[in-house]
Chain A
Amino acid sequence: MNLPPKAPIKVRLSDGQERRVLSAAPYLSACTALEFASKFPKVDADFVGHNDVAVLQLESADGARLGFAELPTGSAEMGPEKDILVADFPEGRAVGWTPGRARRIPNLTARMRHDARVAAGSSGGACFNYQCELVGIHQGRWDPAKRLVPLARFLADIRDAVANDVAPPSVWSLDGTPTGGLVIGRDLFFQGVAEASRRGSRARGLRVRRRDVQRDGTAGLSFTYQLLRRVLELRPGAHRLLRIGFDMGLRDLLSALRSAAAAEGFQLPFEPPALGVRQGDTTPEAAVNDQAKALARQLNDAAGSQLLWIFFENPVSGLNEAERLALEAFVAAAVTQPALRVVLAGFETLTTPGEEFTTAGQAREANASGLIVESIGWFLTSDVEAVIRDAARSFGTELAVAVIQSEAQKAVLGLQTFNGLLGYYSQDDLRRVSERLQPILQQLKAAAGGET
């Protein structure tokens, strides 16, 4: 009875943000028909294939930012009696962990009963032992006790799905040092690059957009190119990168692309425009569309087994008509080519071809190609925490959550919140936060035995 969810499920994260759940659940096992009728089967055989458990995948990889628990590596068999902690979240409101004791049900291994006093609405909550290992999922109340589904019943079924759900490659600093440009609040960028790096993905690149064009300046956009280059370098040999600017004014964009490709070693033979769609044969829109298609095809062929990323830098004072037509035409053509990826930094006043996705997960479920849209302009305290945690890990140190939170609070101390939103800070303050974080990270590095 593996039915997909009927309505989109949303999950509220511990930092208050909401995420949609991808419609294709990696694992879905319904309860038994008797359980559905509030009755209880007596023998294990009746529970075969009915674990009353679903593994859902969020549209974005927030685990990397918020933290996560590993699956046990062993068999996860529970003993006859076990002290447990059950996640308590009545009506979706997280209230903490409730202790209890799990006991076996005679002649039954498919379910266990427990006595944790969790409130109604906490079904599906994780049950941990006191070694912080997941041992089961709270199923619900069957008076006088409550029940859980032991992890051992379905661990083998979900192990691969969880193992394959890896966080996208990311960096906390452009050069891996505390002074090398800290990367704060760009999770969606990393997820977007990871999704677009997947062969066959509908995400054919990213569009990085400023939330407030006049206020945010161009710093975040310039940083984006460096960030992209750094992330792509994590998989050497898999990617190539072209950077296209609009610095020369009144330039033929398609020629500029061709030149940039040539400079990168792609020799593209000149193809004259096809008869019937040359300038004069048809409208400028149709003519440039065709030339852009031909160029995109050539670039795609030239890319071979690599992915060719083309980064378009934001024009400081806009584009002229010819540039705009050419840019639109090229992006429209590029998103249809499997080996091309486009990154548009800025261009907020332009409409772009193709679909737009707000998350990598959306792109995964899409039927048409497009760009993942990342809006920049603010960051969260949890983003700062993630930088501290990742930096410490890269130094070989695992910090306690409380320490990370404390240091993050120090870094954002006294900053104005973004539009009055608690925990949100303006991108304008990134430089200050980076300056505050640098000595902390250098201390961490020194403590871990690295050079400062």
Chain B
Amino acid sequence: MTPEPDFISLSRRFAALSGPFHPRAAIEASQVDPASPEALDLTADLASACEIQKDPESGVRWLMRTSARSWELQALGPDGRAAAAAWRREQPAFDGPAQDIVMALAGEGGFAPDVIEARLLAIENGEPAQVLELERLTCALEWAGPAGPAFRLLDRVRAAVDRQHEAQRGESLLQAGFLGREAERKRLVDWIARPIPQGRVTALFVTGLPAIGKSTLLEQAIRDAAASQGPALVIRLDFDRAGLDVRDQVGLTMEVSRQLAAQLPQQAHEMRTARLVAAAVDDEETKGDRRDRIPPALASAMAQDLQASGRPILFLLDTLEALLSRGASHIQQLFGWLDVLLSYGLAPMSVIAAGRGEALAPARERIFGPPVELDALTPEDGLALLGRLGVPKELHDRIQTQAQGNPLRLRLSAAFATGADANGEPPADLTDEAHLYRALKSRIVQPELAALVEPGLLLRRINAEALGEVMTVAAGQPRVEAQAAQALFEALIAHQWLMQPDPDAPGWWRQVPAMRTVLFPRLAKGRRARRLHALARDWFAKRPRALGSGGKPLSSAAGPAGQGPAAQPGAGGSVRPADDRRTAPGGPRRRGLGAGREFLPTAGRRPRPRHPAPASIRGRRPICSSRSNAPTGSRAATCTIGRSRTSMWTLCRRSPTPRARCCGGWDAGSRRARRCGSTTSNCQVTATSKRCRPKWRSPAPRCAPSSIPKGCGGGCEPTLDTARRWSASSSAAARARRRDRR
């Protein structure tokens, strides 16, 4: 090998003993004429070993890569490093980072091992630490590398950083404080207080709809438990992290070790060493192939440290629906893995699992007791939250109506209402969109699929063919081949929190009713939704009359006798899941819509609902509880449908606000619909129909019977006018028109 010229060695040494630097300083330190060819060689050589950053303030800065730096410093040897440090002190740009490296290499000043250790001890005992302080320590120790005497403390410094991150996480989730849900909190705290020392792992399961506050509740419960029982060692496995894969149990165990190390900083370095040993592979190991084992040495070391700490270990398994979407066996494998960890001595252990819907369905036997089911915030908790967020009182009712008890929507509305550009009109559309994004789109990983779900999920039933030929086109995407459509369909139905097989139509899938309830009103808006309806109508009309279960055509297999298409919001603006039983069994059955029409969530093709709400719903849901405490003016007392423990706010007819009243008038001078003056913002009155009707399938509270003007078709139901636009040529629509005229 040709030895490097001196100026190259010097420039590398300079870089190794510097933080971010300007290349001119390296040339100067190497005593090379900047205009000479050597300077060019030097620059080219350094560039290959440095990361080049462009800082708007300080201009171009080079930073030697840690691997190259480590190589340089190791090659110097102990004596060489001391000499090099002395040399560096005399060179240009001996700035703060350079001084830190030199001190870290020499173990001097603030980078002496005992000084760092004392500081870390203070931080671990609760003294506040500044982010900048930890950053400075991390950088200097990392840059100095193993050559620095305090390098072994780097893992402890990182542990302090991770604890700060963890604290910020809690602050972020609980920034508005936590309100209500006392019973749920108590159950969680009680559960945490009863960790098991051995045996088969079971979990307390927290479930609820998207953005209902599951993770926030867990966060609060941890704080409650820490306050009453002392802090447990918390291992968070949020399966929103795609990297957490139960097929790689080696990696999963290392993740536990990493989180434990952050909470047991004294053991951080040893645990990292144990992880590196566990990471060695003897063969071609990949996920699912020889990685489904727990490294015994690592597990034993963790158990030992845990026992020494005297603290229980609490596993928080969050976003389990994401794990379920990777396969039912993943849930079982996860619990199997926990069993083994427990058997290794990671005890006493308690486990709390959380997820949308029935995320633990494949391992029901692992659920302890009834699940903790989260529902919308009660009106009083909602009001308290708004008050805490500083929302003016005059907006409370309006925001409550829009948010329907959803904590995310409440917070977003509050942010709009109290923000710098607040104008007193919290934009419902934006909070709707945000909720839709959070509930649905953010969870769809594949971009191709994410582009289809709005408005594609309006379809009541979906198969690969419908996805490829209707959903794609409606979403403005190019048609996809059958194979690609099948792949997308499989990706869609993997989301078991969202989709389920349609029991009435083999081979077809539909949305989980509770999710449809949430999503429908938000998907059913706009031009693309109308396009989907038109496409779906034509597409299903061309389908052969496929047979559903029991040999019935799908058109009649959408539900039991008497059930209508039932795909859009029910009366009163509530949203009805696909399997809702709107009409009493044996009631009038609507026929003649043709095969496939049942798939269409179109309006104007089902009987107008009658007030009060159908008996079937009344029978299914409990009557409003006395704890409603609705605000002044509420018509809760007249509410006929209560809010069940598991149901959505949107299913509840009890509005916290005074019932919207239709104005009863209409704008005779215009053929366009205008907004009704009532607080039911979605209510419209048109010049053509003279009927009070809200926007199509709105989730808004329905018009109160007493306020419905003569001729109103039931307030919040879609009107024939809508049907005329969408299916003017349809004989069914024509029949409906005739019937309506009568």
Contact = CB atoms under 8 A, between A and B. Distances in A.
Nearest to B53: A259
B454 interface: no
Interface in A291-341: 293, 297, 313-318, 320-322, 325, 328-329, 331-333, 336-337
Contacts of A317: 66, 141-142, 145, 151, 154-155, 158
B67 A313 contact: yes
A214 B272 CA distance: 11
Given A274-B434, A315-B66, 7 more contacts: A218-B70, A275-B430, A282-B211, A283-B169, A293-B442, A348-B279, A349-B251
Contacts of B67: 218, 221-222, 313-314, 316
Interface stretch (A38-46, A132-140, A240-248, A390-398): A240-248
A222 B446 CA distance: 32
B161 A250 contact: yes
Nearest to B291: A356
10 contacts: A179-B2, A211-B280, A247-B63, A276-B437, A282-B215, A297-B447, A316-B70, A317-B142, A332-B445, A375-B281
Interface in A339-362: 348-358
B51 A279 contact: no
A263 B52 CA distance: 9
Interface of A: 179, 209, 211-214, 218, 221-222, 243, 245-250, 259, 262-263, 274-277, 279-286, 289-290, 293, 297, 313-318, 320-322, 325, 328-329, 331-333, 336-337, 348-358, 367, 373, 375, 435
Count chain B CB atoms within 10 A of each CB in A282, A353, A354 and give the residue with the most. Answer: A282
> Top 8 A-B pairs ranked by shortest CB distance?
A351-B251, A353-B242, A275-B434, A276-B438, A276-B434, A332-B242, A328-B243, A356-B286
A195 B254 CA distance: 30
Contacts of A279: 172
Interface in B263-307: 272, 275-282, 284, 286-289
B172 A280 contact: yes
B131 interface: yes
B359 interface: no
A213 B280 contact: yes
Interface stretch (B132-140, B179-187, B468-476): B132-140
Nearest to A374: B284
B276 A213 contact: yes
Interface in B229-283: 238, 240-245, 248, 251-252, 254-255, 258, 262, 272, 275-282
Interface in B427-474: 430-431, 433-435, 437-438, 442, 445-447
A320 B158 contact: yes
Contacts of B430: 275
B412 interface: yes
Contact of A222 (B68, B139, B262): B68
B118 interface: no
Contact of A274 (B64, B242, B437): B437
Contact of B243 (A209, A281, A331, A337): A331
B286 A320 contact: no
Given A276-B211, A321-B161, A332-B445, A213 B279 contact: yes
B65 interface: yes
B254 A285 contact: no
Nearest to A296: B447
A435 B1 contact: yes
Contacts of A246: 66
B166 interface: yes
Nearest to B215: A283
B161 A276 contact: no
B638 interface: no
Contacts of B168: 284
Contacts of A179: 1-2
B162 interface: yes
A325 B277 CA distance: 23
Nearest to B132: A250
A318 B70 CA distance: 14
A218 B286 CA distance: 21
Contacts of B435: 276
A229 B148 CA distance: 32
Given A247-B65, A259-B54, A280 B173 contact: yes
Contact of A318 (B155, B242, B433): B155
Contacts of A321: 161-162, 165-166, 262
A214 B248 contact: no
Nearest to A207: B286
Contact of B134 (A213, A250, A367): A250
B530 to A, nearest CB: 25
B675 to A, nearest CB: 24
Pick the most buried of B287, B411, B431: most chain A CB atoms within 10 A of its CB.
B287
A357 B168 CA distance: 37
A245 B64 CA distance: 10
B245 A349 contact: no
B21 to A, nearest CB: 13
Nearest to B131: A250
B706 interface: no
Size bin of chain B's contact surface: 35 or more
Contacts of B68: 222
Given A283-B173, A329-B242, A274 B442 contact: yes
A281 B289 contact: no
Nearest to A325: B241
A283 B318 contact: yes
Contacts of B431: 275
B517 interface: no
Contacts of A375: 281, 284
A328 B276 contact: no
B411 to A, nearest CB: 7
Contacts of B161: 250, 320-321
Nearest to B245: A351
A313 B65 contact: yes
A226 to B, nearest CB: 8
A318 B238 contact: no
A282 B438 contact: yes
Contacts of B287: 355-356
B404 interface: no
B121 interface: no
A204 B18 CA distance: 36
Contacts of A354: 242
Contacts of B272: 318
Q: Most chain-A CB neighbours within 10 Å: which of B1, B135, B281?
A: B281
Given A316-B66, A332-B242, A332-B445, A350 B251 contact: yes
A320 B211 contact: no
Contacts of A373: 284, 286
B319 interface: yes
Nearest to B288: A356
B408 A336 contact: no
Contacts of B280: 211-214, 348
A322 B433 contact: no
A284 B278 CA distance: 28
B175 interface: yes
A351 B275 CA distance: 12
B385 to A, nearest CB: 14
A302 B203 CA distance: 45
B728 interface: no
Contacts of B255: 351
Contacts of B281: 209, 211, 348, 375
Interface string B37-70: 0000000000000011110000000011111101
Contacts of B446: 336
Contact of A352 (B158, B238, B243, B277): B243
Nearest to A188: B284
A320 B242 contact: no
A135 B17 CA distance: 66
B487 interface: yes
B162 A286 contact: no
A195 to B, nearest CB: 15
B172 to A, nearest CB: 5
